[in-house]
A = this chain, B = another copy of it.
Amino acid sequence: MTEKLTLDGLNAAGRGDFIAMLGNVIEYSPWIAEAVETMRPFATSAALRDAMLDAIAKALPDLRLKLIRGHPDLANKTQRAAGLTEESISEQDGAGLDRLSEREFSMFEQLNSAYRKKFGFPFILCVRRHTKDSILDVFAGRLENSPADEEQTALSEIGRIATLRLASLLANDASLPVYGELSMHVLDTHSGRPAEGVAFELIEIARHGASRTLKQAVTNHDGRTDAALIQGRPVPIGTYELRFHVADYFAKRGVLLSNPPFLDVIPIRFGVSEPEGRYHVPLLMTPWSFATYRGS
Instruction: Report A's interface with B, CB cutoff 8 A.
Output: 134, 187, 189-194, 222-223, 237-239, 258-267, 269-274, 284, 286-296
User: Are B296 and A288 in contact, CB atoms less than 8 angstroms apart?
Assistant: no
Partner of A273, one of B222, B223, B258, B293: B258
14 A-B pairs in the complex with CB atoms less than 8 angstroms apart: A187-B296, A189-B293, A190-B286, A192-B286, A258-B271, A258-B273, A259-B273, A260-B271, A260-B273, A262-B294, A263-B270, A264-B269, A264-B271, A284-B289
Residue among A237, A238, A270 with most chain B CB within 10 A: A270
By beta carbon, the residue of chain B nearest A195 is: B296
A267 partner residues in chain B, CB cutoff 8 A = 267, 269
Bound Cα distance A10, B74 (Å): 69
- Since A194-B296, A263-B269 are in contact, a sample of 15 more A-B pairs with Cβ atoms closer than 8 Å, ordered by chain A residue number, is A187-B295, A189-B286, A190-B286, A192-B286, A192-B288, A192-B289, A192-B294, A193-B294, A239-B264, A260-B272, A260-B273, A263-B271, A264-B271, A267-B267, A290-B293
A191 partner residues in chain B, CB cutoff 8 A = 288
Partner of A189, one of B193, B238, B266, B288: B288
By beta carbon, the residue of chain B nearest A247 is: B271
User: Are B288 and A260 in contact, CB atoms less than 8 angstroms apart?
Assistant: no
Bound Cα distance A292, B189 (Å): 10
User: Are A270 and B274 in contact, CB atoms less than 8 angstroms apart?
Assistant: no
Partner of A288, one of B238, B290, B294: B294
Q: A187-B293, A192-B294, A289-B291 are in contact. Are A262 and B266 (CB under 8 A)?
A: no
